[in-house]
Structure 1
Amino acid sequence: MAQQTSTRSRYWRLLSRFAAASVVATGISQLVFLLSYSLGATPVVSTVLAWLSGAIPNFVLNRRTWGGGGRAALRGEILRYGAISVGTALLAALATHNAESLATVLFPDARAGQVAVVWGAFVATYAVMFVVKFFLIDRLVFRRSRHQVPSTTRA
């Protein structure tokens, strides 16, 4: 029972820190996406710019959260995180591209309506991927820190 409580507590701590890192990265990404798309960039370009602006601080903050595996593990962590992050960005690019097609039909002469629909698709993609990414990052990216033997306490 104590082990189950400890595991549950660990996941709540990780989830809260992951959420905080995601809020920071999302804030940066959303600002870059809205600004670039509002100024006329395509949805795909805006998505890539937004992804780049949020992925780096997100990786750094998540590595601190999970503890990372030191210098030796950094390359593998970056590659695994990058694969997950690029996959998410590709899904967002696809969603925003399709949303723009819909938005131009729904709001042919209203740029604000188009921006709202495309931005909604961008936000929705990242909202769904939040849960998926948490488990992928925990199980695949920073896996070494999960298997570390807990230090013993002195009496």
Structure 2
Amino acid sequence: MSTARFGRYWHLLSRFAAASVVATAVSQVVFLVSYSLGSPPTASTVLAWLAGAIPNFVLNRRTWGGGGRSALRGEILRFGAISVGTALLAALATHGAEILATSQFPDNRPAQIAIVWGAFAGTYVVMFAVKFVLIDRLVFTGHRQQRRAR
């Protein structure tokens, strides 16, 4: 990999990480508040996903440069598919974690919250690298097309 190409990916990765931190912070707060107030883990996951997906898309579109107005619909659909897939994995993980947590700590709500929240956060940590590659290769492809046109 050339130095210029490596530098480009390092730039994208650092900006992707910053966007992910913002989206994750929003999602984590919404998840913790919602689940702590008694929402089921799947509902809390969906609320958290909605709260984080919008700033995540906007910030990542700025990072990659998007393909302009004409490409917006396709970018939203492809980003949405990746984002929904991640949310579904998180919903499965939190549901399973809640079953485990309530059976192991039936009278300890703080422990249950910690375990279920750990499953939620862990899903997004694991998906970080996968999402970076998918977003770069499948969602915001306009930057590669612009380079080829030059």
Normalising by structure 1, we get a TM-score of 0.94
* Equivalent-residue separation in structure 2 for 1:22 and 1:30 (angstroms): 11
Deviation at 1:17, TM superposition (A): 0.2
Find out whether 1:139 has 2:130 as its counterpart: no
Percent of matched pairs sharing the same residue: 73
The one of 93, 102, 105 aligned to 2:103? 105
The alignment covers a number of residue pairs equal to: 150
* Equivalent-residue separation in structure 2 for 1:7 and 1:146 (angstroms): 12
Where do 5+ consecutive residues of structure 1 fail to align?
none
* Equivalent-residue separation in structure 1 for 2:149 and 2:133 (angstroms): 25
Please say if residues 41 and 116 of structure 2, whose CA atoms lie closer than 8 Å, have aligned partners that are also in contact: yes
The one of 118, 122, 125 aligned to 1:124? 122
User: Which secondary structure does the structure 1 equivalent of 2:2 belong to?
Assistant: helix
Runs of 4+ in 1 over 6 A off after TM superposition: none
* Equivalent-residue separation in structure 2 for 1:27 and 1:149 (angstroms): 34
**Residue number in structure 2 paired with 1:8:** 6
Bigger Rg, which one: 1
Aligned 1:36-75 pairs, distance under 5 A: 36-75=34-73
Please say if residues 31 and 44 of structure 2, whose CA atoms lie closer than 8 Å, have aligned partners that are also in contact: yes
Where do 5+ consecutive residues of structure 2 fail to align?
none
* Equivalent-residue separation in structure 2 for 1:138 and 1:98 (angstroms): 31
* Equivalent-residue separation in structure 1 for 2:123 and 2:147 (angstroms): 36
* Equivalent-residue separation in structure 2 for 1:57 and 1:37 (angstroms): 21
